[in-house]
Each structure stands twice: as structure tokens, then as C-alpha cells.
Structure 1
Amino acid sequence: MKKNWLIVSGSILLSLTILYLITFNVMPPLDRRQPGSFTNFYLVIFTLPVLVAPILEEIRFRGFLTNNKVLQSLFLLLTPLGLIITGWNTLVFFLMVMLYCLFFIYKRYSQDWILDLLLIVSSLYFSIHHLPSQANLTRSWLPFLAISFSLGLILSWIIINKSIWWAMLFHGAWNLLGGIIFLLALQFVSEELHIVDGDGYKIEWKRVPFLKSNEGSFSPEGNELQITNMNLQDILGIVNPSLLDSFAISEPFMKYEIKLESEGGYDVLKANLIEALESDSLLLRK
């Protein structure tokens, strides 16, 4: 067993961070990226993170730890390719250059302390990669940065002592656990009825358990709009697709039942709907 400081420090940091998040009920800052429609929920939350991401990310961030020349070549290829696909980020570019330099220095000199530094930079690169592009390294993001950093250390230990395939399995299981927790949070929701009286309109809304039904409806009739079992991403897509670039959704993938009564025609009805959702902080202007 080698590099046990990875599993020890990674496990301690992960445990302390999770304890902190639970104790103080800390939630991540709002991600300004738009989530997909609930029709691709399982693809975004389960299929890609559990089956695809573990393979690509283990090769991209820790492929240098294997003796397989094909995987090492893919590591060298996927790292800059990922930067090109996801868009320019100065910090990510700097970490990528550091990672490359340390990798080639280690290949040349095989010093153990260089490998330790390489493992730390790799885990930091892995953690920065998992932050939204709009995020900055403020205190509110640090706990979530610590989780992915500690996970990077643990996955490095698994590769060194087992194999990259075991790391892929562990990575997939971790993402599966996260997906299940997220699904449970969408399923077991408060169904309290919220009522908002605005200028010329009245809206009633409540959350709907995610697994209640896969059928949603958007039904305007005269001065009334009835929405059942739909998330806000799909609602905005119907009301005005251009609004998707103007608003962020505070509860991604959450489904709602909404009843709106408004004075005026359909255009006024839609405008009042957006105003009402924004007044209750379900929609947030970017």
C-alpha cells in the first residue's frame, strides 16, 4: 500500500466538510447555468455522471498514474481538449500547465516529492473543474471545492493501490449516491400552498413530488392559467424562450402546480406569471 497520506487526508477532509455542511445546513450558491428540462433529468443526473464522467475524468485528471501508454496519451490529449470545449479559464489553464510540467519532470527524474506535488495539483485541478464557470473562489464555494479536492486525493490513492478501473467504479458509485440524494430531495418536498397577490393578478403555487407523474400541462383559458407538473425551465420555454438567458432558476428540476388569475389577455397573463415567480424568488435575474 503506497501513498497512504492520500486516503487519510482525503477521508478526514471529506468527513469534516460534510459534517460542516450538515451542521450549518449550508447549500451551494446558485448556479447561473440553466438546467435541462425534466425530460432529460435522468440523462443529466444519472447516465452521464455515473456511466460517462467517471471514465473520462479518471483518464483526464489521473491517467498519468497508470503504466498504460494509451491511457497516458489520452491524459495528455483530453486535458487541453477539455479546456477548449468548456471555454477559456485562466486559473484552469494555469493548473493545466503546472500539471503538464510536473508530469514531464516526474517522468524525467522520478522523485517521490515531485509525484506528491503532482497529486496535489491534479486534485486541485479536478476540484476547480467541478465548480461552475461563473463561480469564484469565495468562502461560500470553499466547502464544495474541498469535497471534490478530497475526492481527488482518495481516487488517486485507489489508482495507486488498486487500478484506474477501481477508481472509475468508486467515482461512478459516488456520483450515483449524489444523484439519489438529489432525487430524494425533489421527491420529498413540502406541498405547502403559496399565494401571491400582485397588481392585477393572483397566483397560487406549490411544489409537486418529482415521481408523481411524467405528464405536465400548460393550459391558459381566458384570464386564468393552470400549470400542472412542470418545472420552470419548461414553463419559460413556453412563455418566452428568450427569457432563459435572462433568469436563473432557484430550484432546478423542481416541479410545480401553478394557478394564475390575471386581468387582461394572454400576453398580460404571461407577463404577470414571470413577475409573480420572480417576486417569490423562484426566478432570479442574472
Structure 2
Amino acid sequence: MKNIKQTYTNLITFITDPYLKDSFEKIRGSEFLYLLLITFAVIIPYAYVLHLAGLDQFDHKMDFLLKEHKWLIAIIAIFVAPLLEEPVYRLHLDFKISSIWWSLGLSILLISEVWIPLALLWVYLFYLLYKVNQGERPNLKYSIFISSALFGLVHLMNFTDFDYFRYFYWVPFMVGAQFLIGLVLSYIRLNHGIKWAIIFHGAYNATLIIPAIYFYEG
């Protein structure tokens, strides 16, 4: 229990006052597991509260994919999504010009009918590019929170036939889980490197998707 409490403390301390290490350390297996447990300890009750609030009234693409393409969604969620989303939403947090350009370039692959979150991402990344080119260091805490919020918003594409104007008040709650996960992934990215953020993202998705595949009753 002591080690998981320390991991939780380290995570909260980082979120409160984030930092960028000069060199990354390989994440320990125990810390990796503790971060997964902490994440699910928050996400599972959060998802249950949303269910009680009736958020499942909105159609979700996951239902169709689980019914028609179970293993396709597993491959996308466990391998493709982390490999794409982590460089887009977390690579640039080191504020290197090359990293920002990589985030911008790869973000084109996220183009969908839900275009507003992507447009906001481009505005944000070009702002970072401007600041860095001017020799200024952007605020790391703001950048982590903004990138996590944008990471959450892009997952609105998972919902079908959602009336954003009618149900706009649901949006923060619908993407709240992804926002929280984005903070955890930012912690991993800035302490252990983008590789471990990708691996953690894939492990998190696998923990959700694989049981859903086996127990889905569409």
C-alpha cells in the first residue's frame, strides 16, 4: 500500500506543479501497475455515475463495432490509437519545434466529421509553435490541461447522432474520463518518455476492450 500511495502522491504533485525531466527513466513494472489501478479506481466510479445520470441515452460507435468488428476494434484501440494519439496530444509537451510539427502533421489523420476539436488542436499547436519560435517557454501546466481537454474532446467522434447544440451541457461529462486519462498519460510522457505513454495507453485500452469483446451481448 505504501508504494501505491507514493505513486498517487507523485501523480498529484506532478498535476499540481508539472515539470519536464532532462532525461527519462524506464518505468518500473510496479509503478506501471499502480498507475493503471489508480486510473481505474477513478474511471470506473465516474462511468457508473454517468450511467446513473442517463448518459447512455446517446448512441456510441463502440456498440456497432463490438457487434460487427470485434477484433478490428481491439487492434485499433490497443495498437493504432495509442500510436497516433500519444504523438499528437503528448509529444509536443517537451516544447521542441520538431515535436510540435510532428503533432501537427499526425493530427491530420484524426480528421473526421467532428472537426471542431481538431481545429482547436491546430490553433493550440500553432500558438505553441509561435511561442517557441519567439524564444518563449509556454506554461507547462496550462499546456498539459489544454492538451488533455482536447484529447477528451476528440473522443466525441465516438458518439453517433449526438446533437451538440441541444445537449451541450453533457459534453464536459462525456469527455471527463478521457481528460483524466490525459493527465495520467502526460505524467508518464514527461517522466518516462513518449514510448511508455504509448504502451500505457495501449494497456489501458486493452484492459477495457478485451473483456468487452468476450462478454459483449449485442
**TM superposition score category, shorter chain reference:** 0.5 to 0.7
Larger strand share, 1 or 2: 1
| Contact 1:61–1:75 (8 Å) recurs in 2 | yes
Report the residue type matching 2:126 in the other structure. Answer: Y
Distance 2:209 2:14 in 1: 29
Shift of 1:94: 2.8
2:143 match: 118
Counterpart secondary structure, 2:69: helix
Matches within 5 A, 1:126-145: 126-132=151-157, 134-135=161-162, 136=164, 138-145=168-175
Distance 1:29 1:167 in 2: 32
Shift of 1:30: 2.7
Structure 1 runs of 4+ aligned residues shifted over 6 Å read: 7-14
Counterpart secondary structure, 1:102: helix
In the superposition, relative to structure 1, how do residues 103 and 158 fare at CA in structure 2: closer, same or farther (>3 Å)? farther
| Contact 1:50–1:175 (8 Å) recurs in 2 | yes
The answer to whether the aligner puts 1:183 opposite 2:213 as a matched pair is yes
| Contact 2:97–2:132 (8 Å) recurs in 1 | no
Shift of 1:88: 5.8
Backbone CA RMSD of aligned residues: 3.6
Distance 1:117 1:29 in 2: 33
The answer to whether the aligner puts 1:4 opposite 2:13 as a matched pair is yes
Distance 1:22 1:110 in 2: 40
- Counterpart selection for 2:130 from 104, 107, 113: 104
- Counterpart selection for 2:82 from 48, 54, 59: 54
Number of residue-to-residue matches in the alignment: 183
Matches within 5 A, 1:55-204: 55-66=83-94, 71-79=99-107, 81-82=108-109, 85-87=111-113, 89-106=115-132, 108-111=135-138, 114-132=139-157, 134-135=161-162, 136=164, 138-186=168-216
Report the residue type matching 2:69 in the other structure. Answer: N
Distance 1:61 1:78 in 2: 10
Larger helix share, 1 or 2: 2
Shift of 1:130: 0.8
In the superposition, relative to structure 1, how do residues 35 and 7 fare at CA in structure 2: closer, same or farther (>3 Å)? farther
The answer to whether the aligner puts 1:35 opposite 2:64 as a matched pair is yes
Report the residue type matching 1:41 in the other structure. Answer: K
Structure 2, unpaired ranges of 5+: 1-9, 19-34
